[in-house]
Each structure stands twice: as C-alpha cells, then as structure tokens.
Amino acid sequence: MKTTKEERAGVSPYTPQNVDIAISHLERVLSVEGADSIFAQAYWRGRILQAYATRGLMRAQQERLQQLLDRLSSASTDFNPRAHVA
C-alpha cells in the first residue's frame, strides 16, 4: 500500500542524517514484535509516518519506510481476532 504526500505530511523530529537510526529501530522492533494488535499497528504506523515526514529523505530511506508500511498493511490483512482468543 503506497502512501500519499498528505498521509506523510506531519512533523518529524528527524533529519536525513539521523533518520536511519529511527528506521533501523522500527525495522528491528517490527521484525521482533510484529504488529499483533490493532493498537500496535496504529502506533507503529504513526511512528513510520512521522519518520516519513522528514524533509530531504533519500530514496533508499523512503523505500525502507515504505517496506515497513507494507509489512504493517500485510499484518493487518493477516490479523484474525478469533485466532487470538483462548
């Protein structure tokens, strides 16, 4: 799922020079924890979009962030609430 410029618009605390640290953190957390709950998906999507709002991102940085958004989108389509009921 591609994002529009409006979805990416927002305030970012990052610069193109330090956003890689944030992206690496997001990649690590989402690979370990995943996005098992609706809350987690909303929270991590917000964090990714915050990083995406950084002005002057390089293409590689944009691609990494898009991959994270795609991962969350696929996790939400795979989410089955009944599978999480004991």
The span from the CA of 82 to the CA of 1, in Å, is 25
Tell me if 15 sits within 8 A of 43, measured CB to CB: no
* Torsion, Cα of 53, 75, 79, 11 (10° steps): -10
- Checking 82-85 for CB contacts under 8 A at 24+ apart, the result is 84/36
Would you state the pLDDT for residue 76?
A: 61
Would you state the pLDDT for residue 77?
A: 59
pLDDT (tens place) for every residue of the chain, 86 residues total? 455 554 545 688 999 999 999 999 999 888 865 656 666 788 889 999 999 999 999 999 999 999 999 988 887 655 554 444 44
Q: Identify the burial level of 32 via C-beta atoms within 10 angstroms of its C-beta, where 0-12 means exposed, 13-18 middle and 19 or more buried.
A: exposed
